[in-house]
Amino acid sequence: MAKKGSLFNDAMKRLNRAMEYTDFNKEIALRVGTPKSCLEVSVPLRRDNGSLEFFRGYRVRHDDTRGPTKGGLRYHPAVTLDEVKSLAFWMTFKCAVVGIPFGGAKGGISVNPKELSPMELERLSREFIRRIADFIGPDVDIPAPDVYTNERIMGWMMDEYSTIRRQHSPAMITGKPVSMGGSVGRSDATGRGAYYCIRELAKRVKLDPAETRIAVQGFGNAGQHVARLLHKDGYRIVAVSDSQGGIYSPGGFDIPSLIRTKEDTRHIKAVYCDGALCHAIEATNLTNAELLELDVDILIPAALENQITAENAPNIKARYIVEVANGPVTSDADTILNERKIEVIPDILANAGGVTVSYFEWLQNRSGYYWELQEIHQKLQAIMSREFEKVYDLALELQIDMRTAAYVHALKRLGETMEAKGTSSYFSNEKVP
């Protein structure tokens, strides 16, 4: 049971609110609110200097009602079992929202990967797979990249798992290098999925790209890609930030220039690049907290969870918040934002592009037939646009916020599957199917 004030407890508040708008047996909430299994392991690492250290690792399989579980692996000092349980819970709903036949899972290691050498990172990754190999697999639980993990790490993990099983096993993990069975279109899938949601939102509320100001907190993989695609459409990206801070310019930035400089220097700098030359441009430095409170039309939190809380929610000025990160808005903040008529496009919808293309990768690995990039984009756009429309219309129909509508939408798919197997209503003869 999650302790009071925990991230998992916060997630349960959203489940309970969504249940009020369904007629499912209360047993559904009990089952969905209880993780199926949690694994905690000690991961030894022989450092380059010969010393030995142990790091705590986790893998949670939340629910497999609709199929094998699916979810990322993150390397971060703040990784805890409570966090991983919450992320696995959200993955269950994310998969159900977009209608793919997976349940939710999540995992990670409590470590700062920036303090590891490349060889230490490889040894840690392979050792982690040795510890959890019996807990995962292409028909059971399929990991993927997450915070501070990438396609190279996924490749190491697939190679290690294949060695353990003594057979080539590309479908056991997604987000791999394309040369190792990864899918084209996976690297920008999370950001692209959010971009498709923003396009649908723009149609509904009549946003003019040239007049729409956007701030992006978290200029990592997902944040960069959603900013790049929106910039290409003419939106004004007026602020971006990473863990070290951010920059702001009311006229907007040339996003390809920022991405190029970030890749070259690992820092965000206000620049404009013309060919091989990059020139500094005028901008204001600001903190991540200050970025969240900017007067913009769309705020995109694309970093970590719990960024918008009851403390700063009264100061949020954006008209719309699009959650590219997992859990960036707390349930207490939701209440305040709803009262202030600030619409939130929730994480379980907005960032579902990543798991959707991961599903495509898994399908391709199982069949041995690989799709072209255009086909990946078309399939992703069809799913994201379709499910955004369903959630948006459900919110209007029930007169509820988008987050609650997304949970209700997911619960319908989860609840129908669970009831098909029988709940207390059936076994106590309360109703006959």
DSSP string, 294-330: S--SEEEE-S-S--B-TTTGGG---SEEE--SSS-B-
Are both 97 and 214 inside the same structural domain? no
What residues contact 286, with CB distance under 8 A and at least 6 apart? 239, 241, 245, 246, 247, 248, 294
pLDDT tens-digit readout, 130-185: 999 999 999 999 999 998 999 999 999 999 999 999 999 999 999 999 999 999 99
Q: Among 67-71, 153-157, 229-233, 323-327, which is the least confidently predicted range?
A: 323-327
Are both 228 and 247 inside the same structural domain? yes
Largest CA distance in the chain: 75
pLDDT tens-digit readout, 277-321: 788 888 999 999 999 999 999 999 999 889 999 999 999 999 999
d(CA 108, CA 106): 7
Of the three residues 148, 180, 212, the one that is the final residue of a domain is: 180
Are both 38 and 113 inside the same structural domain? yes
Are both 281 and 230 inside the same structural domain? yes
Which DSSP string corresponds to 210-236? GG-EEEEE--SHHHHHHHHHHHHTT-E
Q: Residue 248: which of 193, 287, 305, 297 has the closest Cα?
A: 287
Count of residues in the chain: 433
* Domain count of the fold of the chain: 2
Banded pLDDT at 4 (limits 50, 70, 90):
very low
Residue 113, SS3 per DSSP: helix
Are both 278 and 401 inside the same structural domain? yes
Give the model's pLDDT for residue 7: 81
d(CA 302, CA 160): 31
CATH of the domain at 257: 3.40.50.720
d(CA 394, CA 148): 35
Give the model's pLDDT for residue 191: 97
Q: Residue 8: which of 106, 146, 127 has the closest Cα?
A: 106
What residues contact 89, with CB distance under 8 A and at least 6 apart? 8, 11, 15, 32, 33, 35, 62, 104
Pairing outcome for strands 37-46 and 52-63: antiparallel
The answer to whether residues 431 and 38 touch, using CB atoms and an 8 Å cutoff, is no
Query: Backbone phi, then psi, for 352, in 5-degree steps?
Result: -80, -5
**Which tokens belong to 62?**
């939340």
Q: Residue 331: which of 412, 404, 409 has the closest Cα?
A: 404
Whose tokens are 């050498």? That residue is 117
Which DSSP string corresponds to 73-91? EEE-TT--HHHHHHHHHHH
Q: Residue 300: which of 188, 222, 407 has the closest Cα?
A: 222
**Which tokens belong to 31?**
């089952």
CATH of the domain at 96: 3.40.50.10860
Are both 139 and 219 inside the same structural domain? no
d(CA 102, CA 107): 16
- 84 falls within a domain: yes
d(CA 188, CA 194): 10
Give the model's pLDDT for residue 5: 54
**Which tokens belong to 153?**
């790490």
Asked whether residue 252 carries a pLDDT value surpassing 70, the answer given is: yes
Are both 159 and 210 inside the same structural domain? no
Structural domain boundaries, residue 320: 183-361+374-433
Give the model's pLDDT for residue 3: 41
Are both 109 and 201 inside the same structural domain? no
What residues contact 34, with CB distance under 8 A and at least 6 apart? none
Pairing outcome for strands 298-301 and 213-217: parallel
Give the model's pLDDT for residue 412: 94
d(CA 46, CA 373): 40
- Residues involved in catalysis: 106
Asked whether residue 322 carries a pLDDT value surpassing 70, the answer given is: yes
